[in-house]
Amino acid sequence: MLRVGLTGGIGSGKSTVAARLADHGAVVVDSDRVAREVVAPGTPGLAAVAAEFGADVLTADGALDRPKLAGIVFSDDAARQRLNAIVHPLVRDRATELVTAAPPDAVVVQDVPLLVENGMGALYHLVIVVDTPVEVRVRRLVEHRGLAESDARARIAAQADDDARRAAADIWLSNAGTPDQTRAAVDALWAERLAPYETNLRERRHADRGAPRILDHDLTWPAQAQRLLARLRLAVGGAALRVDHVGSTSVPGLAAKDVLDFQVVVATLDDGLDEPLAAAGFPRLPGFDLDSPHPPGGPATAKRTHVAADPGRWANVHVRAQDSPFAGYSLLFPAWLRADGSARAEYEQLKRGLASSHSDVPAYAEAKESWFDQAIPRAEAWAAATGWTAD
């Protein structure tokens, strides 16, 4: 199944987005609803909250007095942390039950208000952040939930800011317009990305790689890479010695194809990571199991190549043994290019020229090999002169 995390600040309109995704067939697990369920009257969760905060947080009929509890925790970080320590494990366990019960071909959307604050992005194939201007959110909270303006602003201030949410977002979905505009954006997201991604994930196939096209350096590439790195590291766990963002998109200022490259280094190369990586959204790409020899004439080196199933983010994952020469080259080469502006300009000129004359990625990559033959000794000389080593 495809797992999608849905989040956004209080009052941002996540419920509108979740409802439209449900219209398309998504299985929506609403953490707010689950949070109410686990502290319903008669539950161990409610008993634990009352024991921690006192009987005053209960109504006359024994239910949770939410406004009174909110008045305590939203102005006191320590109190909020104590509440979270009680409620979050209960919500997590119940949400896990609901996700496990979903069919294998489902798109499961978990509406998690504190996804960013709790660093949960790596648990999902994609994270959607619903964005709405603060003043609109304040107005909604005052008009539709009956909060005082000061209370609404305090709740907003207690959550992650836009910078933190942007760093976590694979998809930044504006809800600043009309409901119809928001629903149309969700419709397009479902058709163009979520539904195809689920099919690719289930069938263990990658998204179309397209023709090579060189773009100016994108300042968002590092943040995008960090999100995928977190998912890869979670997927491979202790089986990997290291996982790194490599390739041209890891070099600031260097023009490149809009593809993120990663390297997973293992002690011994085998097929053990095929299924964990495929389940994380990176199925194996058959036929790309060798690195070309450098210098020419030597033996080719075995590797495994995995390609993202996400149609909205082209990414390659190269799995190599620690004794592969390319495990070292893949770390050395970007480091050299970061340090040597003339080499960086030379490589960029080569890439732009080859991309304009090759219509498919394998041919483009093959055409670069002769340049690598002469560039690798230069990079090695730089490393020796500067004392560079891989961290």
- What pLDDT is attached to residue 233? 98
Can you tell me the distance from the alpha carbon of 120 to that of 103, in angstroms, rounded to the nearest whole number? 23
Query: Does the pLDDT value for residue 141 go beyond 90?
Result: no
Q: Report DSSP state, residue 192.
A: I
Query: Does the pLDDT value for residue 78 go beyond 80?
Result: yes
Mean pLDDT to the nearest integer, 134-139:
85
Residue numbers belonging to the annotated binding site:
11-16
Residues with Cβ within 8 Å of 269's Cβ and at least 6 positions away in sequence, in order, are: 302, 303, 304, 319, 320, 321, 324
Query: Does the pLDDT value for residue 222 go beyond 90?
Result: yes
Can you tell me the distance from the alpha carbon of 206 to that of 287, in angstroms, rounded to the nearest whole number? 13
- Angle between helix 179-189 and helix 14-23 axes, rounded to 10 deg: 50
The CATH class given to the 2-203 domain equals alpha beta
Query: Does the pLDDT value for residue 364 go beyond 80?
Result: yes
Mean pLDDT to the nearest integer, 134-163:
84
Reference 245, options 172, 331, 321, 303; nearest CA is 331
pLDDT range class, residue 361, cuts 50, 70, 90: confident
Model-wide pTM > 0.95: no
Share of the chain above pLDDT 70, in %: 100
More confident position, 184 or 150? 184
Note the pLDDT tens digit of each residue in 337-352: 999 999 999 999 999 9
Residue numbers belonging to the annotated binding site for ATP:
11-16
Question: Strand (E) positions, the chain?
Answer: 2-8, 27-30, 107-111, 126-131, 171-174, 214-215, 242-246, 256-257, 260-266, 290-291, 301-302, 304-307, 315-321
More confident position, 256 or 9? 256
Buried-state track 157-186, b at ≥16 Cβ within 10 A, e below 16: ebbbeeeebebbbbbebebeeeeeebeebb
Mean pLDDT to the nearest integer, 34-56:
92
- What pLDDT is attached to residue 132? 86
- What pLDDT is attached to residue 156? 85
- What pLDDT is attached to residue 135? 83
CA distances from 129 to 27, 31, 161, 195 (A): 18, 15, 12, 18
Query: Does the pLDDT value for residue 209 go beyond 80?
Result: no
Q: Please list the alpha-helical segments (H only) found in 102-243.
A: 134-145, 149-157, 162-168, 179-189, 195-203, 221-236
Mean pLDDT to the nearest integer, 104-130:
94
2-203 and 214-386 in the same fold: no
What CATH homologous superfamily does 214-386 map to? Beta Polymerase, domain 2 (3.30.460.10)
pLDDT range class, residue 300, cuts 50, 70, 90: confident
> Do residues 388 and 335 lie in contact, with contact meaning Cβ atoms separated by under 8 Å?
yes
Q: Where are the domains of the chain?
A: 2-203, 214-386
Mean pLDDT to the nearest integer, 187-196:
97
- Token duo for residue 216: 């100016």
Dihedral angle at the C-alpha atoms of 263, 267, 272, 278, nearest 10 degrees? -10
More confident position, 113 or 202? 202
Note the pLDDT tens digit of each residue in 304-358: 999 999 999 999 999 999 999 999 999 999 999 999 999 999 999 999 999 888 8
The secondary element (H helix, E strand) that includes residue 88 is helix 77-100
Can you tell me the distance from the alpha carbon of 143 to that of 37, in angstroms, rounded to the nearest whole number? 26
- Token duo for residue 64: 């949770």
